[in-house]
C-alpha cells in the first residue's frame, strides 16, 4: 500500500475536545483518532458532539463483533446453549468474561458511569445520522487466549487467582484503579486489578491491538474510501495507533491481521501429558497386581477414593446438587483415565439436568456476578463454578493418587 502520512490540525468543522486527539491524513483520507476515557460522561458527550458536527463521513470504534452484540443485546447470554459451551471447552472463557464484566460493573456502581458509555454514544449518534460504523477491535476471546498463551505457565495461576479474587472481594474498587480506567484501555485497567504489569501481558493486550486496529482501518476504511473517519478508541491506544498510521502499511492488510487472530497451538507436552499419566497409572495397577492381588486392589481402591472424594468435595464448594456431587465422585476416577472427557464436563452436565437455568437466571446473570454470593445463587454462574471446581478437584485427585501409587510401588 503506497502511503504518505501527514499530521494535520483538526477539521474546523469539528468541535474542540478536552481529551487527547490527533488527525493524520493518508492519501485522500483523514483519520481523527480520539482518545476517550472509558468511565467518563464527558468523553461520551464529546463523542456525540464530534459526530453531530457532521465533519466525518464514517466512524470506526474500538469494539469487536461480540462486544458490539453484548451492547446491542444484553440478554445475548440467554441465547447460548450452555451444554455446548461446556462441550466446546469454552466454560473457562465464559467464566473469565463474566469475572471481567463483574469488575467493570463494580466500577460503574461506584463511579455512577457505565464503562464504555462513549462507545454506546458513538453507536447511537452514528445510527441517528446514518453514518457507516466500522468495528475495528480484535475479538475479546482471541485476546484473552493470546494473553493466556503469551504468559509463562507459572504465571497463569496468578491470572486465575486474580480473577477469583476479584469475584470474591467484598471491597470497593480502589480510587486509583478507577482513575486508571478513566485514562486507559478498559481491558488493561481490568487486568491491573489482579495482575502485575508485564511485557508478556502488555503485548497481546495493548500493542498487538494497536496494530490490529490500524490494519482493520486499512481494510474497512482504506485511503480514498472516505473523506474523514472518526476513530473512537481508548486513550491508551492513541499513541501506538498513530505511530502505526505514520508508517507504510502492508499492501494486503488481511494477511497480517489474520496472523494476529491466530492462537498458538498448545504445547505437545500438555497434549500428551494426560495420556502419559493414564499410561503410568494403568501400569502402576498392573505392577501392583503382578506383585500380589492385595496390593493391586489397594492401589485401585486408593485411586477411586482419593480422586472421587476430592472431586465430589470440590463440587460441594460450588453448592452443587447432591446428585451432581455423587455423580462426580463416581465419574472422576474414570474420567481421569480417559483424556477425551473431563470430570468437569460430567459434573456440569448433571448439574444442568438437575437444575436447569431459568429465564430469570440469564436476565440477572451480569448483575448477579458483580457480588460474590451471586455466583452461587444464579444457576448459570453456579454451573460454571461446578465445572471449574470439579475439574480442579479431579486434577488434584489425579496427582495425589498418582504419587500414592508411586510411593506404594517404589517407596521401599
* String of DSSP letters for 343-363: HHHHHHHHHHHHSPPPHHHHH
Clarify whether residues 220 and 71 are in a common domain: yes
Query: Do residues 22 and 232 lie in contact, with contact meaning Cβ atoms separated by under 8 Å?
Result: no
Task: Locate 400 and state its grid cell.
Answer: 495425589
Domain boundary among 202, 227, 259: 259
Question: Residue 353 corresponds to which cell in the numbers above?
Answer: 439436568
Range(s) of the domain holding residue 353: 268-410
Do 236 and 384 fall into the same domain? no
- Asked whether residue 157 falls in the same domain as residue 209, the answer is yes
pLDDT mean over 95-116:
66
Q: How far is it, in rounded angstroms, from Cα 51 to Cα 74?
A: 25
Whether residues 101 and 242 fall in one domain? yes
* 273 or 304: which leads in pLDDT: 304
- In this structure, the answer to whether residues 113 and 52 fall within a common structural domain is yes
Count the Cβ atoms, other than its own, within 10 Å of residue 324.
Answer: 27
Residue 214's nearest CA partner among 249, 261, 174 is 249
14 three-state secondary structure = coil
pLDDT at 161 over 90: no
pLDDT at residue 279 above 70? Answer: yes
Q: Are residues 13 and 140 in the same domain?
A: yes
Which ranges constitute the DSSP H helices of 1-90? 41-52, 65-72, 82-87
Give the Cα separation of 257 and 144 in Å (integer): 17
Q: CA angle 343-348-353, nearest 5°?
A: 130
pLDDT at 374: 81
All cell numbers assigned to 83: 451444554
Give the CA angle between residues 143, 105, 103 to the nearest 5°: 55
Q: Grid coordinates 484503579 are at which residue? A: 177
Q: Are 342 and 361 in contact (CB under 8 A)?
A: no
pLDDT at residue 306, rounded to an integer: 95
Please check the confidence at residue 206 and state whether its pLDDT lies above 60.
yes
My answer on whether 240 and 281 are in the same domain is: no
Residue whose cell numbers read 456440569: 348
Q: Residue 113: is its pLDDT beyond 50? A: yes
Does residue 271 sit in helix, strand or coil?
helix
Lowest mean pLDDT of 49-63, 90-104, 278-292, 329-343, name the range.
90-104
Non-local (6+) Cβ contacts of 382 within 8 A are 318, 319, 320, 351, 355, 375, 376
Q: Are residues 251 and 396 in the same domain?
A: no
3-state secondary structure of 261: coil
Q: Cα separation of 22 and 334, whole Å?
A: 60
> 225 and 245: one domain?
yes
Q: Kindly report the average pLDDT of the chain as a whole number.
A: 80
Rounded CA gap, 394 and 403, in Å?
14
Number of domains the chain contains? 2
| pLDDT score at 375 | 81
Pairing relationship of beta strands 21-26 and 29-36 according to DSSP bridges: antiparallel
Does residue 251 sit in the same domain as residue 308? no
Task: Give the residue from 215, 242, 259 where a domain finishes.
Answer: 259
- Using DSSP's 3-state secondary structure scheme, residue 136 falls into coil
Neighbours of 398 (CB within 10 A): 25
Distance CA 59, CA 61 (A): 7
Highest mean pLDDT among 61-75, 81-95, 139-153, 245-259: 245-259
- Residue 9: per-residue pLDDT: 46
Strands (E), 274-377: none
The confidence score (pLDDT) of residue 196 equals 45
How far apart CA 109 and CA 103 sit, in angstroms, is 10
List, in sequence order, every residue forming a beta bridge with 229; answer none if it has no partner.
Answer: 31, 58
Most confident region among 64-78, 173-187, 215-229 by mean pLDDT = 215-229
Q: Is the pLDDT of residue 322 over 80?
A: yes
Beta bridge partners of 233: 35
- Rg of the chain's alpha carbons, rounded to an integer? 25
Q: Are residues 58 and 207 in the same domain?
A: yes
pLDDT at 202: 75
Domain boundary among 224, 259, 294: 259
State which H helix or E strand residue 290 sits in. helix 268-291
DSSP 182-213: HHS-HHHHHHHTTS---HHHHIIIIIHHHHHH
Q: 231 and 184, same structural domain? A: yes
Amino acid at each position: 500500500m503506497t502511503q504518505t502520512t501527514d499530521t494535520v490540525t483538526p477539521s474546523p468543522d469539528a468541535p474542540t475536545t478536552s481529551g487527547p486527539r490527533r488527525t493524520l491524513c493518508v492519501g485522500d483520507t483523514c483519520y481523527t483518532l480520539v482518545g476517550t476515557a472509558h468511565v467518563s460522561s464527558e468523553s461520551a458527550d464529546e463523542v456525540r458532539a464530534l459526530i453531530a458536527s457532521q465533519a466525518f463521513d464514517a466512524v470506526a470504534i474500538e469494539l469487536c463483533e461480540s462486544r458490539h452484540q453484548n451492547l446491542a443485546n444484553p440478554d445475548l447470554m440467554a441465547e447460548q446453549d450452555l451444554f455446548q459451551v461446556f462441550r466446546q471447552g469454552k466454560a473457562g472463557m465464559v467464566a473469565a468474561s463474566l469475572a471481567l464484566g463483574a469488575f467493570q460493573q463494580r466500577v460503574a456502581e461506584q463511579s455512577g458511569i457505565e464503562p464504555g458509555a462513549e462507545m454506546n454514544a458513538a453507536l447511537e449518534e452514528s445510527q441517528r445520522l446514518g453514518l457507516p460504523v466500522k468495528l475495528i477491535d480484535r475479538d475479546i476471546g482471541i485476546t484473552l487466549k493470546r494473553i493466556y498463551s503469551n504468559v509463562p505457565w507459572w504465571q497463569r495461576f496468578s491470572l486465575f487467582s486474580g480473577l477469583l479474587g476479584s469475584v470474591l472481594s467484598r471491597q470497593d474498587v480502589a480510587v486509583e484503579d478507577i482513575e486508571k480506567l478513566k485514562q486507559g484501555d478498559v481491558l488493561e485497567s481490568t487486568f491491573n486489578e489482579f495482575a502485575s504489569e508485564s511485557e508478556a501481558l502488555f503485548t497481546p493486550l495493548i500493542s498487538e491491538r494497536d496494530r490490529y486496529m490500524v490494519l482493520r482501518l486499512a481494510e474497512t476504511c482504506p485511503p480514498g474510501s472516505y473523506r474523514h473517519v472518526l476513530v473512537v478508541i481508548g486513550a491508551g491506544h492513541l499513541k501506538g495507533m498513530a505511530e502505526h498510521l505514520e508508517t507504510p502499511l502492508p499492501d494486503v492488510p488481511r494477511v497480517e491481521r489474520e496472523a494476529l487472530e491466530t492462537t498458538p497451538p498448545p504445547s505437545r507436552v500438555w497434549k500428551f501429558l494426560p495420556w502419559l499419566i493414564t499410561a503410568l497409572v494403568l501400569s502402576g495397577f498392573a505392577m501392583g497386581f503382578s506383585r500380589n492381588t492385595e496390593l493391586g486392589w489397594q492401589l485401585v481402591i486408593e485411586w477411586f477414593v482419593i480422586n472421587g472424594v476430592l472431586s465430589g468435595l470440590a463440587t460441594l464448594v460450588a453448592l452443587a446438587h447432591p446428585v451432581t456431587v455423587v455423580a462426580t465422585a463416581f465419574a472422576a476416577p474414570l474420567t481421569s483415565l480417559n483424556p477425551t472427557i473431563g470430570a468437569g464436563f460430567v459434573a456440569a452436565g448433571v448439574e444442568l439436568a438437575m437444575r436447569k437455568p431459568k429465564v430469570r437466571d440469564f436476565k440477572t446473570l451480569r448483575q448477579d456476578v458483580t457480588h460474590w454470593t451471586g455466583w452461587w445463587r444464579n444457576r448459570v454462574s453456579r454451573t460454571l463454578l461446578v465445572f471449574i471446581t470439579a475439574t480442579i478437584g479431579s486434577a488434584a485427585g489425579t496427582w495425589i493418587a498418582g504419587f500414592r501409587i508411586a510411593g506404594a510401588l517404589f517407596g521401599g
